Amino acid sequence: MSSTPAASSSPAASSTSATTRRSFLVRGAALAAAPTVAGLVGGVLAEPAAADTSLPDFAPIPPSALGPALNAQGYHVGRVHRNLYWVTDGTYQAAFLTTKDGVVLFDAPPTIGENLQRAIDQIASANGVSNKVTHIVYSHHHADHLGASSLFGGQVVRVGHIETKRLLARDNDPTRPVPDVTFQTHHTLHVGGERIDLAWLGTNHTPDNSYIHFPDHDTLMLVDIQLPGWVPFDSFNLNEDVPGSIAAPAKAMGYPWKHYIGGHMGRLGTRHDMVVYQQYVADLIDGVTKALTAVDPTPFFTKYGNNSWAAVKTYQDAQVDYAAAPVIKKYTGVLAAADVYTASTAFILLESIRLDLGAGSQVHP
């Protein structure tokens, strides 16, 4: 990583630079999803610079995809229902439940970091309740959702799926202490008179991703499956089990809930958001299924001869374009970044349908 540019000798200039840097980091919270790039931006590109006209243009973000404004510290905290709250930095989300015996925190994204406790303090002070975090519930093992867990010390009771414990023990990351309490399929957590139902309903985004239901708060938390108002992140949210991830929304809809915490982006979700997302995925699946037979491989293999990878790449690029183009057109203005990541998701769905389901396979005579 390159060193940070030297500070200006002028106090006024230094103050302006610091303000600009803070504003940039707040607006650029999405870069935290790619830590290496974020590091480079924080160290090299945070100062004002002329716009790079060579960068591509993308469709405007629909206002419906945007959440509430962040405060000066770079976070927003709001009520979900009753004593259940959510926190976001515009790119990541966590939640917490205040109880008579303390606070239960759900995930601890490092991009929110110390702002988690600030958000809890803010709510606790306003409502005259305890700000002490007694439990942290892990949605799954990924560091981008748990990397601030260690900030809450060793006395907190951490709860997660049994596979979460195995994976965290494997990764040996001190920022993500292993769960103290684990479950295999279902677990009901009772804290301070409140109830949280945890369930593992099969692999999806990861082998350990759990459904977190708040039956008394009309809320479901299911991380990295559906991102309210947005298309999936690159390559279908980097889901490890594609068929399981396709099936997850229907399982989520089987719960009674009104509010949805998806773990990413700047707003809460609704059941309507889930329906739109399911249709988006269904449209892509329909497109890639048709592409498997509609796109003729002959021109690609004829042109590239024995360069098999060039032939395969261009052939699959054509299949992806066939499937993605109408979906991008349909959902631009409906789901944010439809023109950014739909093609990469189409490719992952194409490969899953081809490899997991066997569609398009031909047996040599």
User: For residue 45, what pLDDT is reported?
Assistant: 45
Task: Output the CA–CA distances (angstroms, integers) from residue 42 to 8, 319, 334, in the order listed.
Answer: 17, 38, 32
| pLDDT higher than 90, residue 14 | no
User: For residue 360, what pLDDT is reported?
Assistant: 78
User: For residue 155, what pLDDT is reported?
Assistant: 95
User: For residue 15, what pLDDT is reported?
Assistant: 40
User: For residue 275, what pLDDT is reported?
Assistant: 98
Local confidence band at 304 (pLDDT 50, 70, 90 cut-offs)? very high
| pLDDT higher than 90, residue 132 | yes
* Top-confidence residue, 29 or 6: 29
| pLDDT higher than 50, residue 202 | yes
**Predicted TM-score (pTM) of this structure:** 0.86
- 109 with 92: CB under 8 angstroms? yes
| pLDDT higher than 90, residue 149 | yes
Asked which of 7-16, 139-148, 158-167, 180-189 is least confident by mean pLDDT, the reply is 7-16
| pLDDT higher than 50, residue 173 | yes
User: For residue 19, what pLDDT is reported?
Assistant: 38
Average pLDDT over residues 241-266: 98
User: For residue 359, what pLDDT is reported?
Assistant: 86
| pLDDT higher than 70, residue 307 | yes
Local confidence band at 361 (pLDDT 50, 70, 90 cut-offs)? confident
User: For residue 4, what pLDDT is reported?
Assistant: 36
User: For residue 5, what pLDDT is reported?
Assistant: 36
Distance, CA of 289 to CA of 244 (rounded, Å): 18
Percent of the chain with pLDDT over 70: 86
User: For residue 50, what pLDDT is reported?
Assistant: 64
What does pLDDT average to over the chain?
Answer: 89
* Top-confidence residue, 279 or 363: 279
Percent of the chain with pLDDT over 90: 83
pLDDT, tens digit (0-9, with 9 covering 90-100), for 262-277:
999 999 999 999 999 9
Average pLDDT over residues 197-217: 98
Distance of CA 220 to the CA centre of its chain: 15
